[in-house]
Structure 1
Amino acid sequence: MYDYVIVGAGSAGCVLAARLSEDPDVRVCLVEAGPADSSPNIHVPAAGSRLFRTQLDWDYDSHLEPFCRDRRVYLPRGRVLGGTSSLNGMIYIRGNARDYDSWGQPGWSFDELLPYFRRSEDNERGASEFHGAGGPLAVSENRSRNPMSDAFLKAAGQGGFPANDDFNGAAQDGFGYYQVTQRDGMRCSSATAFLHPALERPNLTVETNVHVHRVTVAGNRATGVTGRRLDEDVEFRAEREVILAAGAYNSPQLLMLSGIGPADQLAPLGIPVLVDQPFVGQDLQDHPQCWLVHGHSEPVSLLVAGEERHQREFRDRRTGPLTSNGPEAGGFVRSRDGLPAPDLQYVCLPVMFTDGGLGFPTGHGFSFASYVLQPRSRGSVRLASDDPTAKPRITHNYYADEADLRTAVEGVRIGLEISRQKALKPYTERAVSVPASDSDADLRDFVLRNTQSSYHPTGSCAMGRVTDAELRVLGVDGLRVVDASVLPTIVSGNTNAPTIAIAEKAADLIRGVAPLPPATAAAGG
């Protein structure tokens, strides 16, 4: 018996476990489907993609994407302490202030959430109006800075785009290096930052290798969870609350397996309906991204990272290509005049990136992608079976709204202009994956054939529809959802930092303490 049972030790779950267990009188149990984060490939930044399709990855794929040539899209998610923060690209981005203000949820404006961003942050630039220092989450400069990343930023400048040295500062527009969640050249996942320092607390229990199957409900109240560890059935009971922090795919799946979801979907599977909640699993959002890839003869890509000299540099000084987060640099762009905020994000990788990260580079190369930041298209997470071990049926519906496709096409068009600038000439010798021409037809065809996920699923248990503004599941007492699934609309940037900030605020809501005073800085404008 515990006070709180948290399902999922990812970006949000690790924060919740650490913050709630600060009270020595509270008993906290954190339950994770995967193992401890002991793999060296987790902690060496450049090795993150080696975790794809392994036991540390839920290894999801979308269902046939009906507006994207009926393609399946690979959707990696971390299945390990730290969750996807143990295998992501480590970019620290909050998004745009307008994102949060548009939610219309009490307590969740940007000014109200900025103090929680700052509380979690230990930025090596120090504390400021926009940043925090001394928090658990290390935010640092990238130590790799590949010459191709430098060239990409120069090319963006040659293309007429401004520079920006802090995307989380006063303005989001422009190009520059991303800050990353690293400490001393090593990955700083949510497990490293929040959970590990709390593991010695006697009131915190961490259960790994447990696949949670359902939330147990007595009357109208969540009482715990049941699941399985190898061949053993297990149950964890909660006196106060069950908190789902399993992510935008698994949290709605767990709700539906527990009888909380659309009755017309649950009943045919033989799942007793406890709460007919039609919005569970709906409103799924992601940033569709499309990559331009070139090959060249310069021996500077991340293929050299495994060379002995670079291994020695990393071992001795924690610098060099093995510290690369992959998407080292990028920027934010407005695809047309009159937009209130950027609608495109760019990231560049100093290596060939193909097949959603599953392809192996055939030589030295350079890749960069554009994301559609505020997609109008909505997908869903549905059950494929009443068997809790069956993977959910995920459909993102990329480009269901024609406006998203138009923005994606403009993103590729702008990317092609950047690729033709003088600074990138040494690294664009050979086209590996580019459109056949600049025509609208060829650009559309390229986008539909090459779109991948940016690994930013959100919205499937949205505030105001599935939960209230305190993240309590509507219709069930003692049950909350705290992860990226609660975002009413996706933020304009990478989702790891916002998920951590949401969990920081949720911890205060759960503890019943007064919220941090709102900020007055209009950051990310």
Structure 2
Amino acid sequence: MYDYVIVGAGSAGSVLAARLTEDPDVTVCLVEAGPADTDENIHVPAAFGELFRTRIDWDYDTHEEEALDRRRVFLPRGKVLGGTSSINAMLYLRGNRLDYDGWGQPGWSYDELLPYFRRSEDNERGADAYHGAGGPMSVSDGRSRNPLSHAFIDSALEAGYAPNDDFNGARQEGFGFFQVTQRNGRRCSTAVGYLHPAMDRPNLTVETHLQVHRVVVENGRAVGVTGYRLDEEHTIRAEREVILCAGAYNSPQLLMLSGIGPADHLNLLGIPVVQDHPEVGRNLQDHPLVPLIFTTSQPVSLLGADDPEFVRQFVEEGRGPLTSNGPEAGGYIRTRPELPAPDVVFFSGPLMFADSGLGLPTGHAITYGPVMLTPRSRGTVTLDSHDPTTKPNIRHNYYQDPDDLRTAVDGTRIGLEIARQKPLAAYTDGMLRAPASESEADLRAFVRAYTHSIFHGTATCSMGKVVDAELKVMGIDGLRVADVSVMPAPGRGAPNATAIAIGEKAA
């Protein structure tokens, strides 16, 4: 028996466990399906792609996406202490003020969330009105700053866009280098920043390799969880609350496996309905990306990052190509001048990032492209079976709304224009996969053929629909959800920063 049982030791769960156990009178059990974060590649930033489809990745994908030529889209999710903050590209990007204000939830406006962002942050630039110093989460300037990244920024400026040296400051628009969740050139996941410093507390128990199968609900109240380690069943009781921090795909899956979800769907699977909740698993949103890959004959990409001298530089100095987070640089734009805020961000990395990062690089290259920030399309997470080990059925429905495809085409045009500017043209030889032409039809075909996820699924347990503004699941006592699934929309940032703030506020 514990006061709190937290399911998922990821970007929000690790924060919650660390903050709640600051009170020595509170007991917490943090349950993680995966292992400890001991894999060396977790802590070498440039190696994050090596973690995909390994034992520390849930290795999800979508159902066939109709608007993407019926392709299935790869969706990596961290199954390890630190969750996806242990396998992501380490971008520290908050949403826009308009995003949080637009949620319309009491306590969740930009001004109300800013203290939690600042509280979590240890920014190497120091504290100011927008940033914190001394918090658990290290936020740093990148230490790679590859020549291709400089060329991309210079080309964007030459194309007429403004510079920006702080995307989390007074304004988002413009181009520059991103800040990253790194400490001394190594990954700073929420496990590194929050959880490990708390692990010796006697009031914190961390269970790894234990996959929760359902929440135990008795008389309308969540009283614990049941799961399995190998073939051994474990039930962990919660005296105060159960808190799901399992992410945009697993949190709704767990609710439905526990009988909390759309009654008609649960009845089809023979799952007893505890609470009819039609919105569980709905409203799924993501940021799709159109990759533009340009090859170069100059040996400057991350392809040679494992050179012995670079390894020495990383180990001894915490610098060099192995500190690269991949998308080192980028920028925010509005594809239409009448928009109130950016609707596209460009991510640019000095590497060949093909096939959602699953393709082996065959040469030196730069990959960049538009990421659509304000999608109108909505997807679902449902169950294919009452068996908790069956992967959830994920349908993002990318470009289901024609306006999303229009934005993707406009963003792709802008990306191709940036490639024609002198700084980038001096490096690039041509496109690895190019549209047949820049006609509307050919660009639409190109976008459909190559769009993939940038791994920002959100909104499946949205505030105001599944949980209230205090993150309590409506209709069930003693149960909350605290992760990116509660965000009503993904916003104009990378959700990891917001997930950390959600964990802080939930605590």
Given that 1:365 and 1:427 are in contact with CA atoms closer than 8 Å, whether structure 2 keeps it comes out as: no
Matches within 5 A, 1:49-198: 49-198=49-198
Distance 2:146 2:199 in 1: 36
| 1:493 CA drift (Å) | 1.6
1:305 aligned to 2:292? no
- Tell me how far apart the structure 2 counterparts of residues 19 and 408 of structure 1 sit (CA, whole Å): 40
Give the AA of the match of 1:491.
Answer: G
Cα distance between partner residues in 1 of 2:329 and 2:489: 25
| Paired residue secondary structure (1:367) | strand
- In structure 1, what is the Cα distance between the partners aligned to 2:63 and 2:472? 29
SS in 1 for 2:194: helix
1:85-143 deviation per Cα after TM superposition (whole angstroms, max 9, x unaligned): 00101010001000000111000000000000000000000000110000000000000
For the 8 Å contact 1:221–1:479, the answer to whether it is kept is yes
RMSD: 0.6
Partners in 2 of 1:236 and 1:487 — Cα distance?
28
Q: Counterparts of 1:158 and 1:43 in 2: how far apart (Å)? A: 36
Give the TM-score, by structure 1 length.
0.96
Q: Deviations 1:6-26 (Å, cap 9, x if unpaired)?
A: 000000000000000111011
- Aligned-pair distance for 1:437? 1.2
**Fraction of identical pairs, as percent:** 65
Aligned to 1:5: 5
Q: Deviations over 1:346-397 (max 9, x none)?
A: 0101011100000010011111021110000000000010000000000000
Q: Structure 2: where are the runs of 5+ without partners?
A: none
1:473 maps to 473
2-structure distance, mates of 1:127, 1:39 = 32
Q: Indicate yes or no: 2:452 matched with 1:452.
A: yes
Note the alpha carbon deviations across 1:213-242, whole angstroms, 9 max, x for none. Answer: 000000010000000001211111000000
Name the SS of the counterpart of 1:200 in structure 2.
coil
Q: For the residues of structure 2 that align with 1:370 and 1:388, how far apart are their CA atoms?
A: 36
Tell me if the contact between 1:384 and 1:390 (Cα under 8 Å) persists in the aligned partners: yes
**1:200 matched to 2:197:** no
| Whole-angstrom distance in 2 between the partners of 1:235 and 1:193 | 29
Q: What code does the residue aligned with 1:436 have? A: A
Aligned 1:240-319 pairs, distance under 5 A: 240-319=240-319
Q: Distance in 2 between matches of 1:32 and 1:457?
A: 20
Paired letter, 1:433: R
1:463 Cα offset (Å): 0.2
1:427 is paired with a residue of what secondary structure?
Answer: coil
Residue 67 (structure 1) shift: 2.1
**Secondary structure of 2:117 counterpart:** helix
CA distance in 2, matches of 1:411, 1:237: 50
In 2, Cα distance between equivalents of 1:346 and 1:413: 12
Tell me what 2:329 maps to. Answer: 329
Amino acid of the structure 2 residue aligned with 1:185:
G
2:93 and 2:431 map into 1 onto residues whose CA distance is: 30
Using the alignment, how far apart are the partners of 2:410 and 2:187 within structure 1? Answer: 33
Asked whether 1:439 is paired with 2:425, we answer: no
- Equivalents in 2 of 1:434, 1:20: separation in Å? 51
Partner residue in 1 for 2:390: 390
CA distance in 2, matches of 1:493, 1:126: 21
The amino acid of 1:49's aligned partner reads G
Q: Confirm or deny: 8 A CA contact 1:3 1:240 kept in the other structure.
A: yes
- The one-letter code matched in structure 2 to 1:126 is G
Q: Give the Cα–Cα distance (whole angstroms) in 2 for the partners of residues 271 and 293 of structure 1.
A: 46
Aligned residues: 507
**Equivalent in the alignment of 2:464:** 464
1:479-505 Cα distance to aligned partner (Å, 9 max, x none): 000000000111102110001001101
In 2, Cα distance between equivalents of 1:115 and 1:347:
27
Distance in 1 (alpha carbons) for counterparts of 2:61 and 2:86: 19
**Which residue of structure 2 aligns with residue 430 of structure 1?**
430
Number of the residue aligned with 2:40: 40
Q: Distance in 2 between matches of 1:59 and 1:425?
A: 36
How many angstroms apart in 1 are the aligned matches of 2:427 and 2:275? 56
Contact 1:144/1:322 (8 A) holds in 2? yes
Unaligned stretches of 5+ in structure 1?
A: 508-525
Q: What's 1:516 paired with?
A: none
Report if aligned partners of 2:297, 2:428 keep a CA contact under 8 Å in 1.
no
| TM-score normalised per structure 2 | 1.00
SS, match of residue 414 in structure 2? helix
Query: How many Å separate the matches in 2 of 1:256 and 1:65?
Result: 23
Please report how far the alpha carbon of residue 457 of structure 1 lies from its aligned counterpart in structure 2 after TM superposition. 0.5
Which position in structure 2 is the counterpart of 1:521?
none
Provide the rounded CA distance (Å) in 2 between the counterparts of 1:211 and 1:434: 43
